[in-house]
Structure 1
Amino acid sequence: MTILVTAASGQLGRLVVDALLERGVAPSDVVATARDTSKLADASARGVRTALLDYDRPETIAAALEGVDTVLLISGSAPGARAAGHRNVIDAAKAAGVAKLVYTSVPNATTAQFVLAPDHKATEEAIAAAGVPAVIARHNWYTENYVPDVQRAADTGVIAASVADGRVASATRADLAAGLAVLLTEDGHLGEVYDFSGEHAWTYEELAAAASQLTGREVRYAPLSTDEHLAALEAAGLDAGTAGFVAGIDDGIRRGVLADASGTLAGLIGRPTTSLVDGLRQALDAA
């Protein structure tokens, strides 16, 4: 079985390659792909096959998929402009007759009014329409996303957000990568939609407490209204569109889009997922 990983030069993709090798997949059975193959030198040095794959260049996708059985489609990094590239991968996977396509989506992708949902909704619908054998892994927020908040809090003693008392069931990239490796290597799972999250949905009060523990100073959560948040973001130098996007994420959190904690990921990887404070500590140590 040959497993292709898209965006393998990215933070999640690199960890998926690691997780596949840790599960005993032969390096020659893994194809790590990226738009810039020079960024895959570390994978190549381990015996992993590498290939050019650009979501926006269908000819590179078709070439990379030759002889591939299983594909991990890691969602692109440009919100609002991802769906077309995803469809290119889906179409190529169908044409190549792949046996399994795994896609990284977001919680409640097809039902939530969430600034990040439209691309994922369109992609999930495209997968269904194409009839490609697939598994959807809906990823909650990365714990690592909060490293900048903790770093700022070391100076300011404050984590400010407009999430009110919203909760986040985050997981580390490494835990998510381990779960994806299971889906890619195990038989079955086809047709399933899995919510990948930590087992505990934490509040921003808990985030502030974790930051206090990690920084050695008292950190408090300062709740903002959406208008206050927008003003603060624009005062920090963000343009109105970017500020609205960031505040839109907090709006989704406030409404509970990321609050569903599930044991699904822990069950697949056979251990508890990494706690908020431990995940942040690991990420800070690596920063």
Structure 2
Amino acid sequence: MTVAVTAAGGQLGRLVVEALLDAGERPVAIVRDPGKVADLAARGAQVRQASYDDPAALDAALAGVDRVLLISGNEFGKRVAQHTNVLRAAERAKVRLLAYTSIPRADSNPMLLAAEHRGTEEVLAGAAVPTVLLRNSWYWENYTGAAANAAESGVLYGAMAQGRVSGAARADYAEAAARVLTGEGHEGRVYELGGDEALTGADLAAAVAEAKGSPVRYADLSKDDYAAALRAAGLEEQYAAALADADAGIGEGLLEVTTGDLTKLLGRPATPAATVFAQ
């Protein structure tokens, strides 16, 4: 069985490839720049070059592949078309399973970040190959920059009101994906994935305080004020708006996951936020 991972040079993709290597697989790492994964090649990964915009390269990259993980792209406005390119190449390669990294409740989630996931899932619903949806909630690493600033200032800012987010370490989601790619019986499944902790903003501030050993409090802002703060911190306007909208969505319970799917796939507890912040 040959397993491929797209965007293998990215933060999540690299971890999935590493998890597969640790499991004794020799995965195909599909990347735009092979130089970024020279270390993975040295460990035994097969490196193939392709981008989501190049159907011919995707055909070559997926040749002989049995299972593939399609990691969602990061080019807003282009992702549905790009993901469709990967799906069509997977269909031409007659892969036996395509897994896709989505977002919780993508079919009904009104967050800005969910729109292209929903569009992609609609395309996948008509796929000529078996699919499985890995609807990942937040990575605790999404907060590490803010955590470092909060440790210095004593204040963690957000717009999540009293909502809770079910996060986990990026490596947890990567390990779960690797288990799906190498396991059986996942065809047609939809996994709502989130960690064991469902934390409020105040809880996140407490986790930062625990990791850094200094007091930290949570300060809640309006969505617009939080977007402005993110722009002031240097984020591009569209990305700042999407993150502020996501934080407001947390306030509405959109990233709280109670299925236990992640820990079931892992066979162990998910990594606590304080552990990720400390690392």
Deviations 1:231-280 (A, max 9, x none): 43344455654432232111211111101233111111111111111122
Structure 2 residue corresponding to 1:153, chosen from 150, 153, 156? 150
Distance 1:241 1:127 in 2: 26
Q: Distance in 1 between matches of 2:4 and 2:244?
A: 35
Q: Percent identity?
A: 48
Matched, 1:196 2:160: no
Q: Does 1:174 align with 2:162?
A: no
**Correspondence 1:250 to 2:261:** no
Contact kept? 1:115, 1:252, Cα under 8 Å: no
* Matched-pair contact (CA < 8 Å) for 2:211–2:278: yes
| Structure 2 counterpart SS, 1:109 | coil
Query: Does structure 1 conserve the Cα–Cα contact (< 8 Å) formed by 2:21 and 2:43?
Result: no
What is the distance in 2 between the residues matched to 1:229 and 1:148? 15
Residue 6 (str. 1) matches residue 3 (str. 2) = no
- In the TM superposition, what is the alpha-carbon distance from 1:216 to its structure 2 partner? 1.8
Structure 1 residue 74 corresponds to structure 2 residue 71 = yes
Name which of 13, 34, 43 aligns with 1:37.
34
Q: Using the alignment, how far apart are the partners of 2:46 and 2:245 within structure 1?
A: 39
Give the drift of 1:96: 1.1
* CA deviation vs aligned residue, 1:113-144 (integer Å, no higher than 9, x gap): 11111111111111111232011100000111
- Per-residue CA deviation, residues 134-182 of structure 1 (Å, 9 max, x unaligned), is 1110000011111011100121100111110111100111111110011
Q: State the one-letter code of the partner of 1:21.
A: L
Q: TM-score normalised to the size of structure 1?
A: 0.93
- Which shifted more, 214-223 or 76-85? 76-85
SS of residue in 2 equivalent to 1:221 = strand
Aligned to 2:23: 23
Deviation at 1:80, TM superposition (A): 2.8
Using the alignment, how far apart are the partners of 1:239 and 1:227 within structure 2? 14
d(CA) in 2 for partners of 1:185, 1:237: 40
Q: CA RMSD in A?
A: 1.4
1:285 corresponds to: none
- 1:31-70 to 2 correspondence within 5 Å? 31-70=28-67
- Of the three residues 118, 122, 143, the one matched with 1:121 is 118
Counterpart of 1:141, as a letter, is W
2:259 is equivalent to residue 262 of structure 1: yes
Aligned pairs, number: 279
Residue in 2 aligned with 1:107? 104
> Would the alpha carbon gap of residues 243 and 184 (structure 1) be closer, same or farther in structure 2, given more than 3 Å must change?
closer
Q: Is the 8 A contact 2:99 2:134 kept in 1?
A: yes
Distance change >3 Å, CA 62–CA 164, structure 1 → 2: same
Name the counterpart of 1:135: 132
1:205 and 2:202 correspond:
yes
CA shift, 1:229, in A, is: 2.1
Name the CA distance, whole Å, in 2 between partners of 1:49 and 1:63: 13
Using a 3 Å threshold, how does the CA distance of structure 1 residues 2 and 233 change in structure 2: closer, same or farther? closer
TM-score by length of 2: 0.96
Aligned partners of 1:77, 1:240: CA distance in 2, in Å?
15
Gaps of 5+ in 2: none
Q: Indicate conservation of the 8 Å contact 2:211/2:275, yes or no.
A: no
DSSP-derived class of the 2:16 partner: helix
8 Å CA contact 1:198–1:262 kept in 2: the answer is no
